[in-house]
Amino acid sequence: MSYKKLLPQLDRARLPRHIGLIMDGNGRWAKKRFLPRLQGHSAGAKSIREVTELAVEISLEHLTFYAFSTENWNRPPDEVQGLLKMLKERLIKEIPELNERNIHVQFIGSEVGLDPQYLADIRKVAAMTDGNSGLKVNIAFNYGGRLEIVEGIQKLFAASAQDPSLIEKLDVHNFADWLYTAGQPEPDLIIRTSGEMRLSNFLLWQSAYAEIYVTDTLWPDFDKAEMVKALLHFQKRDRRYGGLKA
């Protein structure tokens, strides 16, 4: 079904402000077609484009794509190097259109273990979108939710040496100021493709009250229509945040 036929069903006043996407199934998609795993990742890049285009079309505010986790370093070296090369090349290629669409891209994740030159290169490219005020796209790269919390605590304690009141005033709300996503709304919706029922260390602190939508669709097959279906499902949820409806 064309996504255009589904769009009229969306309540534009009740869209999630922030959506996290766990892009799973690239390897299985390739295996089903007797292709190398990297071709699955390449096909998955098209789905990132589809989702981003739809987000701009319906005026979503924030997307976070789980692109490369701290655990992904355990994959075969040729796959890891291929992923890093593809990420950088794809970003460079997409920059003109990202700017044309007023999309702001930033990388979130740890610097630990990264090649400093590679990190500088991708940040330099992403910085070309810093002046854009539209859709905010986070690329979670070398990202792990547990490590994010640990690094947040480390940054907080380092800052508290100059301002001890930071510890005294710490609560569950302002701790978010020390995370990679500081200043952004918490995700309302987490989408996971390929049918796996877990968060896989993704946005653990931020997703405390996120709605979770799991689809059996493999990531390279996740298109605009699949995204609209996820949003329609989200709009059927009764979000009470631990309380009761008035």
Least Cα distance to 98 among 38, 141, 55 occurs for 55
The pLDDT confidence band at residue 245, using thresholds 50, 70 and 90, is low
Q: What is the CATH number of the domain that holds 175?
A: 3.40.1180.10
Residue 10 lies in a domain: no
Whether this model's pTM surpasses 0.85: yes
Residues marked active site are found at 24, 72
Domain count, the chain: 1
Any domain includes 28: yes
Mean pLDDT, residues 14-19: 98
Give pLDDT tens digits for 62-117: 999 999 999 999 999 999 999 999 999 999 999 999 999 999 999 999 999 999 99
At residue 66, what are phi and psi to the nearest 5 degrees?
Answer: -85, 95
Note the pLDDT of residue 238.
87
The SS3 of residue 69 is strand
How far apart CA 13 and CA 116 sit, in angstroms, is 43
Which residues constitute the domain of residue 214? Answer: 17-234
Are the C-beta atoms of 135 and 52 separated by less than 8 Å? yes
In whole angstroms, what separates CA 106 from the centre of its chain? 10
Q: What is the mean pLDDT of the chain?
A: 96
Residue whose C-alpha is closest to residue 241's, from 201, 204, 209: 209
3-class DSSP state for residue 215? coil
pLDDT of residue 246: 60
